[in-house]
Copies of this chain bind each other. A is one copy, B any other.
Amino acid sequence: MMKLTAGELAQVVGGELVGDSSIILTGPSKIEEGGDGTVSFLANMKYEPHFYTCTASVIIVDRNFIPKQSYSATIIKVDDVYQTVSLLLSQFQKKEDNSHGIHGSAICDDSASIDKTASIGPLCVIEAGAIIEAGVILKAQVYIGANVKISKASIIYPGVRIYNDCQIGQNCVIHSNTVIGSDGFGFAPDEAGNFKKVPQLGNVIVEDNVEIGSNTCIDRATMGSTIIGEGSKLDNLIQIAHNVRIGKNTAIAAQTGIAGSSKIGSYCFIGGQVGIAGHLEIADHTKIQAQSGIGTNIKEKNTKWYGSPAIDYFTYLRAYSEFSKLPELRKKVYSIAKEIEENKDHKEL
């Protein structure tokens, strides 16, 4: 953990310091928690009340922020608090000590090609023909199947399993116990209803700068490749079925599932626990609300969806607000019907 003074910090982030520039800072803190020697952030005005009581030595605030009460911290005013937070956290981040080389307990096939600047952790298994490029870090207990390629500077956390023939791009991060390249769910029932396995002969290609969370599954293609596009980010416990293609810089939240052969565009935001049926195409910049179920192609860009099956986001919310009043509406309808009936009877008398 690096140490720096408030004055040095203000310089690093290009901010204006109000208070004591000599305070020594040892790490970040949340504004609700603070603590002596830490630096906090007021990024979201919802947290403003904490600003006045926060015990952090330094608080970073927006350049236009005007305190409404007294406060004790030294402040640093910046143009964009969120961006500063991100920059700063990188500064404080501990450099983990990953020594180069292959741990003595790792089991590496002689035909695997492992760059000498790569780090292969304890109890990893690397099968025949695998290629591990420069700067790659495999933490402990990773499995790398035959002919897998892990490109430069990617980090693979403990317990990740990558089946044969899959390819991981540069600067990727894959978290623990994620499985890449297991068989797609392909079974053809015969006339008696017994399933016969459809062999899954393709692979998975994860392009550069992709990050994948823990316990996520990406199935290999039946033929060809399942593809995760450059810069896309996948959370934990996600299911990506065979032959799915995901575009670039798309973010997918936890526990979402995408069925076979669907093509997801670039720059999409897909909430958690979403289900997307198979063989669909989803346009770029689509936004899908958590728990939605997508059952049709989405051809227009920049639309927002909700519901199962999903419809336009705002239409869903409007309809749903009527939904809870349905019993009332039904009563209204039947009382009207009754009134009309009675009027009729009345006239007929």
Contact = CB atoms under 8 A, between A and B. Distances in A.
B333 A324 contact: no
Contact of A89 (B96, B179, B201): B201
Given A125-B123, A179-B215, A322-B330, A90 B199 contact: yes
Given A159-B143, A199-B93, A340-B339, A259 B267 contact: no
Given A309-B320, A324-B311, A213 B255 contact: no
Contacts of A122: 107, 125
B253 A185 contact: yes
A277 interface: yes
A249 B158 contact: no
A326 B322 contact: yes
Contacts of A222: 89
A161 B215 CA distance: 11
A49 interface: no
A82 B188 contact: yes
Interface in A198-243: 198-199, 201, 211, 213-217, 219, 222-224, 231, 233, 235-237, 239, 241, 243
Contact of A217 (B105, B215, B239): B215
B219 A236 contact: yes
Interface in A299-349: 308-309, 311, 315-316, 318-320, 322-327, 329-330, 332-334, 336-337, 339-340
A255 B254 contact: no
Contacts of A336: 333, 336-337, 340
A169 interface: no
Contacts of A320: 309
Given A30-B223, A159-B159, A195 B249 contact: yes
Nearest to A27: B201
**Copies of this subunit:** 3
Nearest to A40: B223
A339 to B, nearest CB: 7
A197 to B, nearest CB: 7
B89 A107 contact: no
A287 interface: no
A318 B327 contact: yes
Interface residues of A, number: 109
B332 A185 contact: no
A115 to B, nearest CB: 22
B182 A157 contact: yes
A110 interface: no
Given A179-B214, A182-B157, A182-B236, A123 B107 contact: yes
A118 to B, nearest CB: 18
26 contacts: A29-B223, A30-B243, A33-B224, A89-B198, A92-B199, A92-B201, A96-B146, A123-B125, A125-B140, A125-B158, A143-B158, A173-B183, A175-B182, A185-B213, A219-B236, A237-B257, A239-B254, A239-B255, A239-B272, A254-B257, A259-B272, A319-B325, A319-B327, A323-B323, A325-B330, A326-B326
Given A89-B223, A177-B179, 20 more contacts: A30-B243, A90-B199, A96-B146, A121-B125, A123-B125, A125-B140, A159-B179, A175-B183, A179-B215, A193-B249, A194-B231, A213-B217, A237-B239, A277-B290, A311-B324, A318-B326, A319-B327, A329-B329, A329-B330, A332-B333
